[in-house]
Amino acid sequence: MSKKWSSTTKRWVIVGLVLTLALIVYRFSSIVPPLAISIIVAYILNPLVGFIAAKAKIPRTWAVAGIYLALMVVLGLAFAALVPNLIQQVMSINVDFQGIVEAISRFFEQPLFLFGFYVDLLDIYKEVSSTLQDIVSPLASRTVSFLIGLASGLGWAVFIAIVSFYLLKDADKLGHAFYELVPADYRDEAHRLMEEVDAIWNAFFRAQIVLCLVVGAMVGAALWIVGVKNALVLGIVAGILEIVPNIGPVISSIPAILIAYFQDSARLPLSNFWFALLVAGLYVVIQQVENNFLVPRIIGRRLHLHPLVVIIGAIAGAKLAGILGIFLAAPTLATLRVLARYVHCKLLDLDPFPEEAEEPSEPAEQER
């Protein structure tokens, strides 16, 4: 029998493994976002795969393949049905940019009277125009870069599909292997922790899908009712930006307000200013309905994070992982809160799951 490692050796091995893992993540950081997306896709589809495999009594591989095929068909049909309409609506945006430029030019040509002095704005206008020209001039090279990025994105999409396929196919084996790595004395606690974390992420993804669909439909319908042009496009934009915590709805409202200001309503006899104000009010009302009615009922108390904490987390997430970091900020913070509570209880020799100890006493209390 080989010699057992001492406690010191075990600690150093653990530290070395953690540092090696951190170095690998840092060295291959470009693969982390698509790998994270693959895990998310597999996590979302895993319950459906398990359900189909159990009901149809087929291997998980066939269930995963069937779901992938169904998704491809649905996405293809949706693309064929929506894209022509989207292109038509986008092409119908006929804001008079030339008139706007001329109005801005006339404004800057007039001297500004401020605190008894005349301020010449023409130099400022020339400087701004020169800056804009410098931005627009390399447009051709940026177009080439965009096409290269698009090809790279398609490659990563194939990578995500392949990795998520194998994660779904071997999900049960991977879960069993994970619990085998946990010491036997801690497996019950690890299982309870995973249940809490799973509840957080399950609630988050379910809520995001529902909120994106509901808010997108509400915005699109409201804008169509009041006569905003391109309501379908704006509704889709609102639904997509719903994944950005707190500031997403604000960003999605900007193009709608601008379109309302520069284009007349197709239904209401309002001036452009009042029409834009009405559209802004609609976004505020929808946001209030979402925050006070939809979010508490859809997400419940699973995340229970203060909006300020979510905003700070989103900023940190954007710094670390871009758009993906913004999207995953809220559930990541909620997960860290669960883990921090567990570590805190262990450090103070407290029960990390006190509600389990209280459950047996409930029937006795009811009998009294």
- For 110, the 3-state DSSP assignment is coil
156: containing domain: 29-181
Model pLDDT for residues 170-206, shown as the tens digit of each residue? 988 888 888 888 888 888 888 899 989 988 888 888 8
Model pLDDT for residues 88-111, shown as the tens digit of each residue? 665 655 554 555 556 666 666 666
**pTM exceeds cut of 0.85:** no
- The rounded distance, in Å, linking the Cα atoms of 322 and 319 is 6
Instruction: Tell me, yes or no, whether 223 and 318 share the same domain.
Output: yes
pLDDT greater at residue 301 or residue 42: 42
Number of neighbours of residue 116 by Cβ within 10 angstroms:
5
Instruction: Tell me, yes or no, whether 170 and 271 share the same domain.
Output: no
Residue closest to 194 by CA, chosen among 179, 204, 183 = 179
Q: In Å, how far are 277, 287, 290 from 259, measured between CA atoms?
A: 12, 19, 23
In a domain, 163, yes or no: yes
Model pLDDT for residues 293-334, shown as the tens digit of each residue? 777 776 655 677 777 787 888 888 888 878 788 888 888 999
Check residue 155 and give its pLDDT.
84
Instruction: Tell me, yes or no, whether 169 and 202 share the same domain.
Output: no
Instruction: Tell me, yes or no, whether 95 and 171 share the same domain.
Output: yes
Split at pLDDT 50, 70, 90, the class of 360 is very low
Q: Where is average pLDDT lowest: 59-68, 83-92, 113-122, 258-267? A: 113-122
In a domain, 121, yes or no: yes
In a domain, 63, yes or no: yes
Q: Where is average pLDDT lowest: 42-46, 100-104, 106-110, 229-233? A: 100-104
Residue type present at position 154: L
Q: Where is average pLDDT lowest: 69-78, 134-143, 220-229? A: 134-143
Instruction: Tell me, yes or no, whether 335 and 190 share the same domain.
Output: yes
- The rounded distance, in Å, linking the Cα atoms of 124 and 108 is 8
- Asked whether 267 and 211 are in contact (CB, 8 A), the reply is no
Instruction: Tell me, yes or no, whether 163 and 193 share the same domain.
Output: no
Number of neighbours of residue 265 by Cβ within 10 angstroms:
19
Which tokens sit at 362?
């409930």
The torsion of the CA quartet 182, 185, 190, 192, rounded to 10 degrees, works out to: 160
Number of neighbours of residue 22 by Cβ within 10 angstroms:
10
Instruction: Tell me, yes or no, whether 195 and 342 share the same domain.
Output: yes
Which tokens sit at 355?
């509600």
Check residue 20 and give its pLDDT.
92
Instruction: Tell me, yes or no, whether 230 and 122 share the same domain.
Output: no
Split at pLDDT 50, 70, 90, the class of 211 is confident
Instruction: Tell me, yes or no, whether 50 and 175 share the same domain.
Output: yes
- Could you give the number of structural domains in the chain? 2
Check residue 150 and give its pLDDT.
67
Instruction: Tell me, yes or no, whether 270 and 121 share the same domain.
Output: no
Residue closest to 95 by CA, chosen among 255, 216, 234 = 255
Mean pLDDT score, 340-356: 82
The overall average pLDDT reported for the chain is: 79
- The rounded distance, in Å, linking the Cα atoms of 190 and 182 is 8
Mean pLDDT score, 203-224: 89
Check residue 219 and give its pLDDT.
93
- Asked whether 43 and 171 are in contact (CB, 8 A), the reply is no
- The rounded distance, in Å, linking the Cα atoms of 37 and 111 is 54
In a domain, 260, yes or no: yes
The torsion of the CA quartet 225, 226, 228, 232, rounded to 10 degrees, works out to: -20
- For 348, the 3-state DSSP assignment is coil
Number of neighbours of residue 203 by Cβ within 10 angstroms:
18
Which tokens sit at 210?
């529902």
β-bridge pairing 117-119 and 112-114: antiparallel
Query: Last residue of a domain, which of 181, 204, 232?
Result: 181
- Max Cα–Cα distance, the chain, nearest Å: 95
Percent of the chain with pLDDT over 90: 16
Instruction: Tell me, yes or no, whether 156 and 237 share the same domain.
Output: no
DSSP summary character for residue 112 = E
